[in-house]
Amino acid sequence: MPTNVHYEALPDSIHLMWDFPRDHNEVVVRGYTVGWGEEQHVDSMAISLAGKETNNVQLDGLRKADPLATAT
């Protein structure tokens, strides 16, 4: 599991950065999956990053989600 995860958020993008797992020389890291969404529900909003040397990703073109309409 990566350590020291942090981010820089801008109005339409986010830059995620992390340190490699403490035991990255002892286990095989094939890549990471970054997902986003409300709470635990990620749905299909995810990207996969291949390679154990990857430690950051920039997600551009993001926009604020419209609130869900509710019946009254």
Q: Which letter, b or e, does each residue of 35-71 get, where b requires 16 or more Cβ atoms within 10 Å of its Cβ?
A: eeeeeeeeeeeeeeeeebeebeeeeeeeeeeeeeeee
Residues 14-69 pLDDT 10s? 888 888 887 767 766 677 777 666 666 555 566 777 766 778 888 888 776 655 44
pTM across the whole model: 0.61
